[in-house]
């Protein structure tokens, strides 16, 4: 007996795996055959199938979502096939089965706030595939939501649950809100049974991969997998990645293998939960504490109720515990999010689940709870359609050329002022994108002694916009002494000093409202392009100041100078009258 794989049914269940290898015989047609999965470097061709058959192999599945074939091969053929240049890997297709489950009071759906969401969202029409032991589709709490599936154990279209585990998980996702028994997280989601484990809880990796392929081919939006293995199989990894690339949200139980020795806590998250394409779910109890059995590690993404969970079971209802029970709580919540945000991609659904989870344990992300306890109420909250309330609109700091408009909103929102010189004709705008509740927007370059009419707008984080009624203010008379930039004349100077250096000169001329030079005005500005220094200086009797840039060795490009401010006591700088504010020269 040799352990090959352990696909855990992630309740308080321990899986054992056995594959028996019998002694080989010379005749490949009579030699016992072992189940394997053969991965190819390219898509399997007819020649690859012929090769497998030529070695005495029996093909079970030829997958389309991964470049692999599941088959039974004589033991002696395995090494030969591995040597084929087109083969990427050969993995054992291990037999798996569950041994036991604890039966324990349902509280999970209530704890994650799903009942609050049900008043407006029950996950209607979202396709959820339960890859498990099947579903008792005759159950009074599941029959209306069951929409089909496939039995890969018996290779037929009748995935009836002959174990109970799959029915229990299905009820957590979507037990009907019909006054009977229990209510699932998403009680109007569509359930699909993908049976890959038999009545004893046993199955094959090849069937799990086939079930994932079936889910892709049949339009599933969520896959719930309350199963796992402590071995990383390339074929399973590739299948999960293919499903994620197809837009499906994959959720899996993290496992029930918590292990700590002394101060060392081991990473025991199972596969496929450990894969980046899959949401790994740990289990919590009614006190929001990690279940004693729940696996921990860096790949735990979310936590959910998993102890003493009442759900559907063939013939009635049962209590069960395990990360198997935690997993479908998250799968059901994903269905609710898909209804509340129908344009979300699977990646955005996943981000929403992370962002709205209730933080447990150590602050922030941790190895016990991941981002925290899944919160259906926040993740699938009723969309915000209420625009922000606008109050206290004022105009202040009014000068001949500027003013400040301020207001408040009752929630964070951006700031937009629309204004103009005619009532209702708002041809100008000033905007601040910051989401705040106290808004202040400056208006510049205004005309003196002019009445401006304006409204304010704010848009909240949900995209709801509000606009105030109209207001007005009048700018002040322009002071007698105003000045502006009349011109900027650019030149360059090249000098040799241990190499060639070039600097630029900006000759800035300042004049008054009548075009006369202004002496003694301080001009401040900055250089960009080949340099990034700042300069300032005072104008002479011609109203001009020459400002030099830093020198640049072997200069090849553009020097640009921009006037930032002009000051002189008793004078007002009016940039709206500038003939030019910046100029450039290329060397």
Q: How far is Cα 34 from Cα 17, in angstroms, rounded to an integer?
A: 14
Residues paired with 425 in a beta bridge:
422
Residues paired with 34 in a beta bridge:
73
Residues 449, 477: contact at Cβ < 8 Å? yes
Q: How far is Cα 112 from Cα 380, in angstroms, rounded to an integer?
A: 11
Residues in the chain: 587
Catalytic residue chosen out of the listed positions 165, 168, 484, 526: 165
Strand, helix or coil at 46?
helix
Residues 489, 507: contact at Cβ < 8 Å? yes
Catalytic residue chosen out of the listed positions 202, 277, 294, 324: 324
Kind and range of the H or E element at 174? helix 165-174
CB-facing half-sphere around the CA of 127: CA atoms within 13 A: 15
Residues 253, 321: contact at Cβ < 8 Å? no
Instruction: Tell me whether strands 127-132 and 190-195 are parallel, antiparallel or unpaired.
Output: parallel
**Four-residue CA torsion sign, 356, 360, 366, 368:** negative
Residues 73, 53: contact at Cβ < 8 Å? no
Residues 361, 290: contact at Cβ < 8 Å? yes
The DSSP call for residue 478 is P
Kind and range of the H or E element at 404? strand 403-420
The backbone region for 26, taken as left when phi is positive above 0, alpha when psi lies in -120 to 50, beta otherwise, is alpha
Catalytic residue chosen out of the listed positions 48, 93, 132, 198: 132
Q: 211 vs 66, 68, 78, 215, CA distance in Å?
A: 13, 14, 25, 6
Helix axes 205-217, 234-245, angle to 10 degrees: 10
Q: How far is Cα 103 from Cα 466, in angstroms, rounded to an integer?
A: 55
Helices (H), ranges, 188-306: 205-217, 234-245
Q: Is 484 known to be catalytic?
A: no
Q: Is 270 known to be catalytic?
A: no
Strand, helix or coil at 81?
helix
Residue among 99, 368, 91 at smallest CA distance from 239:
91
**φ, ψ (nearest 5 deg) of residue 340:** -70, -30
Q: Is 165 known to be catalytic?
A: yes
Residues paired with 544 in a beta bridge:
509
CA-angle at 252, arms to 311 and 213, nearest 5°: 105
Q: How far is Cα 83 from Cα 205, in angstroms, rounded to an integer?
A: 23
Sole residue written with tokens 């029930």 = 256
The DSSP call for residue 272 is T
Helix axes 323-340, 165-174, angle to 10 degrees: 30
Residues paired with 12 in a beta bridge:
none
CA-angle at 45, arms to 83 and 276, nearest 5°: 75
Residues paired with 193 in a beta bridge:
130, 149
Q: How far is Cα 485 from Cα 543, in angstroms, rounded to an integer?
A: 10
The DSSP call for residue 460 is B
The set of catalytic residues is: 132, 165, 324
């Amino acid at each position: 007996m040799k352990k090959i794989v352990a696909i855990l049914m992630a309740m308080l269940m321990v899986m054992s795996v056995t594959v028996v290898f019998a002694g080989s015989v010379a005749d490949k047609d009579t030699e016992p055959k072992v189940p394997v999965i053969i991965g190819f470097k390219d898509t399997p061709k007819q020649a690859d199938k012929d090769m497998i058959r030529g070695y005495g192999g029996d093909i079970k599945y030829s997958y389309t979502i991964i470049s692999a074939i599941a088959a039974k091969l004589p033991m002696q053929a395995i090494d030969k096939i591995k040597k084929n240049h087109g083969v990427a890997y050969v993995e054992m297709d291990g037999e798996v089965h569950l041994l036991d489950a604890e039966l324990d009071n349902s509280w999970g759906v209530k704890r994650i706030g799903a009942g609050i969401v049900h008043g407006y969202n029950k996950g209607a029409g979202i396709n959820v595939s339960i890859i498990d032991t099947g579903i008792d589709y005759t159950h009074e709490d599941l029959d209306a939501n069951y929409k089909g599936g496939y039995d890969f154990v018996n290779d037929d279209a009748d995935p009836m649950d002959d174990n109970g585990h799959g029915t229990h998980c299905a009820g957590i996702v979507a037990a009907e809100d019909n006054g009977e028994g229990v209510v699932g997280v998403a009680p109007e989601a569509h359930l699909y049974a993908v049976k890959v484990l038999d009545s004893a809880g046993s199955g094959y990796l090849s069937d799990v991969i086939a079930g994932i392929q079936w889910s892709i081919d049949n339009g599933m939006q969520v896959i719930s997998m309350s199963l796992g293995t402590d071995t990383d199989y390339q074929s399973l990894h590739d299948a999960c990645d293919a499903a994620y690339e197809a837009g499906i949200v994959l959720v899996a139980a993290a496992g029930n293998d918590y292990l700590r020795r002394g101060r060392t806590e081991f990473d025991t998250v199972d596969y496929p939960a450990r894969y980046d394409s899959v949401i790994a779910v740990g289990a919590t109890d009614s006190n929001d504490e990690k279940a004693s059995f729940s696996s921990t590690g860096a790949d735990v993404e979310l936590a959910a109720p998993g102890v003493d969970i009442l759900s559907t079971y063939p013939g009635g209802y049962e209590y069960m515990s395990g990360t198997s029970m935690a997993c479908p709580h998250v799968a059901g919540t994903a269905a609710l999010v898909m209804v509340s945000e129908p344009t979300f991609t699977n990646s955005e659904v996943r981000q929403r689940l992370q962002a709205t989870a209730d933080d447990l344990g150590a602050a922030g992300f941790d190895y016990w709870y991941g981002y925290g306890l899944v919160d259906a109420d926040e993740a699938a909250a009723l969309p915000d359609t209420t625009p922000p309330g606008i109050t206290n609109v004022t105009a202040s700091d009014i000068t001949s050329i500027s003013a400040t408009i301020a207001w408040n909103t009752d929630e964070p929102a951006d700031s937009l002022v629309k204004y103009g010189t005619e009532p209702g004709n708002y041809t100008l705008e000033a905007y601040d994108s910051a989401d705040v509740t106290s808004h202040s927007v400056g208006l510049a370059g205004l005309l003196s002694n002019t009445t401006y009419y304006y409204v304010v707008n704010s848009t909240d984080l949900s995209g709801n916009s509000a606009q105030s009624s109209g207001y007005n203010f009048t700018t002040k008379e322009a002071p007698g002494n105003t000045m502006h930039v009349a011109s900027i004349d650019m030149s360059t100077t090249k000098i040799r000093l241990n190499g060639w250096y070039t600097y630029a000169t900006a000759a800035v001329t300042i004049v008054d409202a009548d075009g006369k030079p202004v002496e003694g005005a301080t001009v401040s500005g900055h250089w960009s392009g080949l340099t990034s220094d700042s300069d300032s200086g005072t104008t002479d009797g011609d109203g001009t100041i020459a400002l030099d840039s830093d020198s640049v060795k072997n200069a090849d490009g553009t020097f640009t100078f921009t006037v930032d401010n002009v000051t002189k006591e008793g004078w007002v700088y009016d940039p709206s009258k500038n003939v030019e504010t910046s100029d450039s020269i290329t060397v």
